[in-house]
Amino acid sequence: MIDRDTVLHVAALARLDLHEDEIEPMARELSAVLDHLETIGELDLDGVAPTAHVLASESRLRADQPHTSLPREVALDQAPDASDDGFRVPSPQA
Amino acid sequence: MTDPISLTAVEAAAALRRGELSPRELFDAYRQRAAADDTNSFTWLADDPTTAGAGGFGGEDRGVPGADTVLAGLPVAIKDLFCITGVPTAACSNLLRGYRPPYTATVVARLQEAGATILGKTNQDEFAMGSSNENSAFGPVRNPWDRSRVPGGSSGGSAAAVAAGLAPVALGTDTGGSVRQPAALCGVVGLKPTYGTVSRYGMIAFASSLDQAGPISRTVADTALLFQHMTGPVDPRDATSIGWGGADELGLPTAERLDGLRIGVPVELLGEGVEPGVRAAFDAALRRAEDLGAEVTDVALPHARHALAAYYVLAPAEASSNLSRFDGVRYGNRVDADDLVSLYTRTRHDGFGPEVKRRIMLGTFALSSGYYDAYYGRAQQVRTKIVEDFRAAHEQVDLIATPTSPTVAWKLGERVDDPLAMYQADTSTLPFSLAGVPAISIPCGLSEGLPVGLQLSGPVFSEQRILEAAHALEQAIGFDGTPALGLDAVTDGGAANGGAA
C-alpha cells in the first residue's frame, strides 16, 4: 500500500511536481498496480541470475577515433532558453 | 491505370522502379487521403507549407529518390517517436510539442537510403506508453473499422493509417506489444523483430532493453520488404544493435505450404480473458495451418503468466531513468521558475500526461532504496525464467502461436480509468518481448465485425521462417481488409478519386 508520504517521496526522487488533488489518486492507482505485481513475489527465484539484456551479453566499444560532433549552435537551437554559449537555467544557488 | 492506393508496397515499388508510376503520383495519392483523414492518425504531413524547409516532398528536401533504388519513392509513415532532422517530433507529448530534432534516426535514414520518402508522422501513445492510443497529447486515434473504438497502441496511428489506406506502410515501435497489438486491432500486419536487429538510435527511448522498431503493412510481403531495409550492419551509434545482412540475407516470403512445420500453442496464454470470438478465429487459423501441413501441438511457457508483473516493473523502471532527460533545459518546453529544481518539477508536471507520470512514479518506486531487490531485482530474475521457457519450448516446436490480443478493439474511453485493465491488453505479447524473440501479428478473421490477430513467434533471428509461415497462412486465410480501407473501387478496377473526401 502506497501512502501519501511515499508518493511525495517518490515524486521528489522523480523530480515531478504533484498538485494537492493529484496525490491521493496517484497513491490509489500505484497501490492497485503494485498489488497486482506482487505475484512475482510468489515465485521461488533463489539462485536465478537476473537478465538485464536478452542478447547484449557484453558491452561493445567503438574505435576511439576523434570525429566532429553536433555544432554548438545546432545543439543549442532547440533549447527553451539558450545564451550564445550554453543552456541558461536559474542559478543552482538561487 | 489502377488506383495506386490499391497496390501493395511490393507492387508499388516495382511499378516505381519500372517507371510505370511516378513517386510524385504515388505520394500525392496518399498525401491527399491522409489530409482528408478522419481517424486522427497523423500528427504532421510532409509537404506541409507551414513547415517549409522541413517538409519538402519526402521530408528534409532530399529530392525524389531514383528508380535505381529498391523502394524508388515508396512513401512511409513514421511513428512520432522517431527523430527526423527538422521534422516536428514530439513522441506525442506536450513536453516535446514543437521540437525539431537536429538528427535523423538510423532506421529512418536506412529506409531513405533505400529510396523511401517520408509521408508524415503518426499519432501514438505519449512516449509509447499505452495500449489504446488514448494517451496522446494530439488526441486519440479512431479505429478505421469502427470509429467509436480504439486502434490499439502505442503505434495506433501507424496501424490505423495503414488499415485505412492513408499510407502503404508505416514504422512503429514495440516495447511490450506496441506494433503487434494495434496491427491486430486494425486488421493489418505488424512485426516485432529480434531485439537488436534494428538500430534504436534516434528512436526516443522508453524501455531500452525492450524497445524495437517494427514495420506495419497490409501484407506479410510488404512487412518483409520494409524490414529488409530497416535492419543492416551494426550501428556504431547503438551499442545494442546487432549486425544483419538485411536484404542480402532476408528474402520476400513465397511459401505456400507449411509441411513439417511444428507450431506450439501455449495453454498459459489461452486462459481467461480471451474472448470466445477471438478464440474461434484463432482455432480456425490453427486448422488452416494443419491443412497446409503444419503439426500443431501444445507447448508449455510456465512463467508466461508472470510476464505482465515483470514487464510493469522493468519497463517503468527503465522509463523513469530514460525520461529524466526531459527537464526543460536542452529541448522541449519549459515552465519557468525561480529555482532550478522547481523548473524541473513544474516542467515535468505540465509536460507529461497522466499515464507517463504513473509509469515514472512506478519505475522510480521500483528502483528506490529498500524496494529495488523486491521489485526490479526479482523482475529481472523472472525475465531469466521466461527466456528459459522459450528456449525449452523451441526444442519441441519451430514456431509459437497465440491470439495477438485477448480481445478485439474496445470502445474509446472504456478502459481509461482502469490502468490494470489497460495493461492486461498486452498479456499475449509481453512474454515474447521479455524473451527478445521476433513475433508477427497477421489478421486471421473477424469477431463481431472486428479484426482478430494471430501472433506467430520463433527463436531469435528466425524472421525468415516466421515471414514464410505468416505468408502461407495469409494466402490461405484470405483476410479482407477492404471495409477499413474505404476503397470500394479496389475490386472493380480502381477509380481515381481514391475515396478522399
Name the nearest CA neighbour of B161 among B281, B76, B219, B58. B76
Q: Does B495 map to a domain?
A: no
Sign (positive/negative) of CA torsion B277, B282, B285, B286? negative
Q: Does A37 map to a domain?
A: yes
- Cα B64 to the chain's mean position, in Å? 27
- The residues near B316 (Cβ < 8 Å, ≥ 6 apart) are B207, B359, B360, B362, B363, B366
Q: Assess contact for B404 and B455: CB atoms under 8 A.
A: yes
Clarify whether residues B39 and B144 are in a common domain: yes
CA distance B420 to B27: 41
A26·B361 Cβ contact <8 A: yes
B340·A75 Cβ contact <8 A: no
The pLDDT assigned to B299 comes to 98
Clarify whether residues B89 and B142 are in a common domain: yes
- Cα distances (angstroms) measured from residue A46 to each of A41, B153, B304: 12, 36, 19
Count of structural domains within chain A: 1
Clarify whether residues B258 and B319 are in a common domain: no
* pLDDT, tens digit (0-9, with 9 covering 90-100), for B133-164: 999 999 999 999 999 999 999 999 999 999 99
B383·A14 Cβ contact <8 A: no
The pLDDT assigned to B491 comes to 41
Domain that holds residue A28: 1-42
A30 closest CB neighbour out of B320, B342, B361: B361
Domain that holds residue B371: 306-380
The pLDDT assigned to A57 comes to 63
The pLDDT assigned to B62 comes to 62
Q: Which residues of B touch A33 (CB under 8 A)?
A: 312, 358, 362, 419-420, 423
Domain final residue pick, B380, B403, B430: B380
Clarify whether residues B235 and B86 are in a common domain: yes
CA distance B222 to B133: 24
- The residues near B491 (Cβ < 8 Å, ≥ 6 apart) are B482
Whether A14 has its CB under 8 Å from any CB of chain B: the answer is: yes
The pLDDT assigned to B271 comes to 85
| Parts of chain B with a pLDDT under 50 | 52-56, 59, 489-501
CA B172 to chain A, closest CA, distance in angstroms equals 21
Clarify whether residues B329 and B459 are in a common domain: no
| Tally of helices (H runs) and strands (E runs) in chain B | 15, 11
Q: Does B449 map to a domain?
A: yes
A16 closest CB neighbour out of B330, B348, B379: B348
Confidence tier at A93 by pLDDT (50, 70, 90): confident
Closest CA in chain A for residue B437? A54
CA A94 to chain B, closest CA, distance in angstroms equals 6
A26·B357 Cβ contact <8 A: yes
* pLDDT, tens digit (0-9, with 9 covering 90-100), for A11-29: 999 999 999 999 999 999 9
A90·B338 Cβ contact <8 A: yes
CA distance A50 to B430: 18
CA distance A84 to B318: 34
A51 closest CB neighbour out of B339, B357, B380: B380
C-alpha cell at B397: 516446436
CA distance B240 to B209: 9
Clarify whether residues B286 and B397 are in a common domain: yes
Domain final residue pick, B380, B414, B430: B380
Q: Which three-class secondary structure state does DSSP give residue B383?
A: helix
The pLDDT assigned to A56 comes to 62
Whether A73 has its CB under 8 Å from any CB of chain B: the answer is: no
CA A84 to chain B, closest CA, distance in angstroms equals 14
Sign (positive/negative) of CA torsion B223, B228, B233, B236? negative
Clarify whether residues B162 and B283 are in a common domain: yes
Please, is B335 exposed, middle or buried when counting C-beta atoms within 10 Å of its C-beta (0-12, 13-18, 19+)? Answer: middle
Q: Which residues of A touch B209 (CB under 8 A)?
A: 52-54
The pLDDT assigned to B489 comes to 43
Domain final residue pick, B364, B380, B396: B380
* pLDDT, tens digit (0-9, with 9 covering 90-100), for A27-79: 999 999 999 888 888 899 999 999 988 876 677 777 899 989 899 999 999 99
Whether A47 has its CB under 8 Å from any CB of chain B: the answer is: no
Q: Assess contact for B161 and B122: CB atoms under 8 A.
A: yes
Clarify whether residues B287 and B149 are in a common domain: yes
Would residue B253 be called left, alpha or beta, if left means φ above 0 and alpha means ψ between -120 and 50 degrees?
Answer: beta
Q: Does A7 map to a domain?
A: yes
Q: Does A75 map to a domain?
A: no
Q: State the CATH number of the domain containing residue B181.
A: 3.90.1300.10
Q: Does A71 map to a domain?
A: no
Predicted complex ipTM = 0.95
Count of structural domains within chain B: 2
Q: State the CATH number of the domain containing residue A24.
A: 1.10.20.60
Name the nearest CA neighbour of B120 among B53, B62, B48, B182. B48
Q: Does A59 map to a domain?
A: no
b/e sequence B449-484, b meaning 16+ C-beta within 10 Å:
ebbbbbbbbbbbbbbbbbbbbbbbbbebbebebebb
C-alpha cell at B334: 519549459
Give catalytic residue positions of B. Answer: 79, 154, 178
The pLDDT assigned to B69 comes to 94
The pLDDT assigned to A1 comes to 81
A89·B102 Cβ contact <8 A: no
